[in-house]
């Protein structure tokens, strides 16, 4: 999730548990602690794929953060002891601020390595877009209320209410995800489509319109499903270029990327370079994580030893407007095949 939302969440959690004694400082402490796991972004892991796939690794591990909570609670008691609340309450507060950060990240599509150092695949429940105002606004109002009115010597009901509303909203997003997948699966069964992978995620900045990716051999299908649709979804077939993946059989970066994304990838030969795209993130035809992994060398391909992330274009506001209109109107459908074709063109 975006850093602002994580800071708001941490501030609200800390205010709900320690605000009565810490006052407005609880908001500051919680906001700082709530952004702590994301400081791993300053680490250079070697290349663009390493930076992507090691982010949300050790710093988002349930094991590491549990130990860190113990250490921070002990340190806080040593430096600034406060007899008004127990060490157990302090530990619980720090632990919840850290844990809610990584669990919220797991609701996005990126992938969070909750069980590091175990080699289990990253957790990506993918029911919330990385920026979702409906989740963030209750937390923002709670923090603003605490800053204006104060929290010391008060029962922070506003903080508990905000956390409850945000948690209920997460439940709503999971229901939306299930709704969208069931509708697409019904169409797949009717058309005899045998998928090797099905991935669903909300479209940008909302949880009412869902994007479904169905991978089948050398092509994939994309579909959009809204809560307000009255007709079955349409599956649009798009070339995936999986045949190019054989050229990357010796690429450690490609193997790492496959593990991190669950194989929801697309391959394109563009300008003599073999580009690999993470289809999970962004929107059809606009994906922030694209990498050139090989260059054409005569009849074959030569691996690129140092991989860089391709520059990301600015968001297309006209397309965002069309996506918003699609939430409410199923017809006419969006030109997904046309948007996806942008990935096969030189930048």
pLDDT by residue (tens digit) across 240-266? 999 999 999 999 999 999 999 999 999
Q: Structure tokens of 283?
A: 């929107």
Terminal-residue alpha carbon distance, the chain: 28
Mean pLDDT of 83-89: 92
Distance of CA 272 to the CA centre of its chain: 31
Q: Is 152 exposed, middle or buried (0-12, 13-18, 19+ CB in 10 A)?
A: middle
Integer CA distances (angstroms), 155 to 17, 29, 31, in order: 10, 18, 19
Q: How confident is the model at residue 82 (pLDDT cuts 50, 70, 90)?
A: confident
- The Cα–Cα gap between 28 and 260 comes to 34
Task: Read off the pTM.
Answer: 0.93
pLDDT at 286: 93
Residue 64 has pLDDT above 90, yes or no: yes
pLDDT band (50, 70, 90) for residue 347: low
The Cβ of residue 260 has, within 10 Å, a number of other Cβ atoms equal to: 25
In the β-sheet with 236-239, what is the strand arrangement from edge to edge?
197-202, 209-216, 219-226, 236-239
What tens digit of pLDDT does each residue of 265-295 get? 999 999 999 999 999 999 999 999 999 999 9
pLDDT at 209 over 80: yes
Q: pLDDT at position 196, please? A: 87
Closest CA to 84 of 26, 10, 157: 26
Residue 88: phi and psi, rounded to 5, are: -65, -40
* Three-state DSSP class for residue 259: helix
Q: How far apart are CA 68 and CA 88, in angstroms?
A: 15
The mean of the pLDDT values for the chain is 94
pLDDT of residue 89: 95
């Amino acid at each position: 999730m975006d850093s602002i939302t994580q800071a708001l969440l941490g501030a609200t959690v800390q205010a709900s548990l320690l605000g009565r004694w810490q006052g407005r400082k609880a908001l500051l402490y919680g906001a700082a602690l709530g952004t702590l796991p994301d400081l791993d972004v300053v680490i250079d892991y070697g290349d663009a794929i390493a930076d992507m796939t090691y982010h949300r690794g050790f710093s988002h591990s349930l094991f590491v953060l549990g130990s860190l909570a113990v250490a921070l609670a002990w340190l806080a008691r040593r430096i600034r002891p406060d007899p008004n609340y127990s060490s157990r309450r302090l530990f619980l507060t720090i632990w919840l601020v850290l844990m809610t950060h990584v669990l919220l990240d797991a609701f996005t599509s990126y992938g969070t390595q909750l069980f590091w150092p175990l080699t289990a695949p990253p957790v990506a429940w993918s029911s919330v877009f990385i920026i979702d105002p409906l989740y963030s606004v209750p937390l923002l109002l709670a923090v603003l209320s605490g800053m204006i009115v104060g929290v010391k010597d008060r029962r922070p009901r506003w903080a508990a209410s905000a956390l409850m509303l945000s948690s209920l909203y997460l439940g709503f997003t999971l229901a939306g995800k299930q709704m969208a997948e069931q509708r697409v699966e019904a169409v797949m069964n009717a058309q005899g489509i045998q998928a090797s992978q099905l991935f669903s995620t909300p479209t940008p900045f909302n949880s009412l319109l869902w994007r479904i990716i169905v991978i089948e051999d050398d092509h994939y299908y994309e579909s959009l499903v809204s809560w307000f649709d009255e007709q079955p979804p349409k599956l649009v077939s798009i070339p995936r270029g999986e045949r190019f993946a054989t050229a990357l059989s010796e690429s450690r970066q490609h193997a790492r990327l496959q593990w991190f994304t669950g194989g929801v990838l697309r391959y394109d030969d563009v300008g003599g370079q073999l580009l690999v795209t993470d289809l999970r993130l962004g929107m059809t035809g606009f994906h922030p994580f694209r990498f050139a992994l090989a260059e054409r060398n005569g009849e074959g391909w030569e691996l690129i030893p140092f991989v860089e992330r391709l520059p990301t274009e600015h968001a297309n506001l006209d397309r965002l407007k069309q996506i918003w209109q699609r939430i409410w109107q199923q017809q006419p459908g969006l030109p997904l095949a046309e948007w996806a074709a942008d990935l096969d063109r030189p930048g």
